[in-house]
A = this chain, B = another copy of it.
Amino acid sequence: MPIYNAPTKDTQFVLHDVLKVSQSDIPGYDELESEFTGAVLEEAGKLATNVLHPLNTVGDTEGCTLENGVVRTPTGFKEAFEEVKAGGWTGLDMPEQYGGQNMPYVVGTAVGEMFSAANQAFTMYQGLTHGAASAILAHGTDEQKNTYLPNMVSCDWTGTMNLTEPHCGTDLGLMRTKAEPQADGSYKITGQKIFISSGDHDMAENIVHLVLAKIVGGPEGIKGVSLFIVPKYIVNEDGSLGNRNPATVGKIEEKMGIHGNSTCVMNYDDATGYLLGEEHKGMRAMFTMMNEARLGVGMQGLSMADAAYQNAVEYAKDRLQGRDVTGVKNPDGPADPLIVHPDIRRNLMDQKSFVEGARAFILWGASMIDAAHRKGDKDADGLISLLTPVIKGFLTDEGYDMTVQAQQVYGGHGYIEEWGMSQYTRDARIAMIYEGANGVQALDLVGRKLAADGGKHVMAFFELVKSYIKDNSGQDEAFDRDFLEPLKAASKDLQAAGMYFMQNATNPNNALSGSYDFMHMFGHVCLGLMWARMGKASLDALAAGAEDKEFYETKLVTGRFYMARRLPATGMHLARIQSGGDTVMTLDAASF
């Protein structure tokens, strides 16, 4: 059975050595002393390792079943969900007013990484609820908030997001689900939604569906889309549960992975819904949560990569096969462990340097969301909006690749379900698709975010990298050479790509055909920046006589690996971009 150990020490390093959260002026961050976050992470880690992780294989094997219209979750899910609820984990970063603990989002993210790594399919029930609750928090009336939020913060009721229909995913303007206004101010919702994660299950008393639909007679296309609250059971005025709403499960999809999560076809057949936010402003309501939701999916890329990596390392240390070419390392055994072999190490270092870099990137991103929400920091808001497609697209692509690499360490055993490595790749695959497929992230980045506010945010990003390099160079020759120079070169490649887009903007296809490469370049530069910051933090800690020298020295080696072996990808992406859109766009559709 696979293992999972919560990365508490590494998360603490990012929070305190790198981001120095408790010294931040973001409201609430002053409470995030090392002992406090350490205690939270320790407890979360125990729950992840001892309760959620053992159910990961169970969820994959059993999946969810639909019996007489009711979805049954895998054995043990319900009990585990009760434990998560009882520990108060579901409301960690939700307002106290609704029963939450009001901790910063950065803490919720650090905990979320562990829960997802231990059991992604399970954690989605809570994750979707968080997303739906955030939408109600941002756009609901006081009455709606009071009716739904306390129960959703506690996860007594869970939530879903209903966007996709059989004929429309990315292009929601094509939506057919309709909403007919009723005399009492409610709506009758009719239509079919597909790919609804956590769509129905047996772990909650009620399920609060947030459904995008078009109000009859409203504007055409995307401008006529509104958002509705459609509870599985209508909530009576006294808060008790009333009639069953005709919001039913058509079927559970057979998926490649995340079998423990019930991905449903939902049929709404004159179901009672309540407008959330303004009429025809449904997309805007969805978009306000998008940074968070997409950062959450990027986090899943990290989670799966870390879980798979941990197992690959164990196997590489344990499995005896072949001998070290430079001399026998395990003379008493029949062979040396896999980890002596250079290509196995190259594989593991790719994974390790990604996982730790991604963790820093995700937590830095979460801290920007906190700065935007808690401090009203517009620059932070602009920067995280720019970086959100990078976090989502790059981290899920790379996260998936890392699960494939981890599986490869196992050889044939990686292909056998019993060893659990296949599940990591199958589960990780979805994160590249949902919450906006990664090609859509690339389009968002290049087609929208680069030019947003006159290009202010991308300029701010380059300025940030530049000042970081300037402020930290000239102190340590090796650091300059191994960290700052590669970062400078990669950042220069990224700027050159941006320049190419601007200079060739007469045909937008020149930029758009390079968007995916740009997203990946951007991701590498961000991880390069993170590794420079982590490298510097490690040097500082060593200079200050830190006790755990090995930890910091390992960081420096891992960082040097990333800078030397991963960052050069920016040159390749730049070359691809600079070759222009012609080879991509020339062929007729019929010639494919």
Contact = CB atoms under 8 A, between A and B. Distances in A.
B587 A335 contact: no
Contact of A408 (B346, B408, B437, B584): B437
B513 A171 contact: no
Of residues A349, A412, A429, which shows the largest number of chain B Cβ atoms within 10 Å of its Cβ? A412
Interface of chain A, main secondary structure: helix
Most buried by B among A253, A400, A439, A580: A439
A560 B583 contact: yes
A198 B563 CA distance: 45
A414 B400 CA distance: 15
Contact of A256 (B335, B408, B415): B415
How many copies, total?
Answer: 2
A561 B582 CA distance: 9
Interface in A555-581: 557-558, 560-561, 564-565, 568-569, 571-572, 575-576, 579-581
A346 B513 contact: yes
Interface in A416-469: 416-418, 422, 425-426, 429-430, 432-434, 437-439, 442-443, 447
A240 to B, nearest CB: 36
Interface in A332-374: 334-335, 337, 339-349, 352
B429 A342 contact: no
Interface string A320-341: 1110011000000011010111
A554 B589 contact: no
Interface residues of A, number: 96
Nearest to A569: B572
Contacts of A346: 513-514, 516, 584
A255 B415 contact: yes
A129 to B, nearest CB: 20
Interface stretch (A45-53, A114-122, A162-170, A293-301): A162-170
Contacts of A580: 564
Given A254-B418, A418-B254, A515-B343, A550 B591 contact: yes
Contacts of A97: none
A102 B343 CA distance: 41
A320 B512 CA distance: 19
A584 B415 contact: no
Interface in A369-396: none
A326 B509 contact: yes
B343 A171 contact: no
Contacts of A591: 550, 554, 557
B583 A565 contact: yes
Contact of A581 (B167, B171, B342, B592): B342
A217 interface: no
A14 B585 CA distance: 25
A417 B509 contact: no
A475 interface: no
A422 B256 contact: yes
Interface string A139-166: 0000000000000000000000000100
A560 B343 CA distance: 33
Contacts of A438: 408
A57 B581 CA distance: 37
Given A256-B426, A342-B509, A417-B256, A587 B194 contact: no
Nearest to A438: B408
A335 B554 CA distance: 52
A243 interface: no
A228 interface: no
A415 B429 contact: yes
A176 B196 CA distance: 51
Contact of A568 (B316, B426, B572, B585): B572
Contacts of A516: 343, 346-347
A528 to B, nearest CB: 14
Interface in A239-260: 253-257
Given A349-B584, A568-B576, 4 more contacts: A325-B508, A343-B443, A412-B433, A560-B583
16 contacts: A170-B411, A171-B322, A195-B412, A255-B416, A255-B422, A316-B592, A326-B509, A339-B592, A342-B581, A343-B512, A345-B587, A411-B437, A422-B429, A558-B587, A564-B576, A565-B583
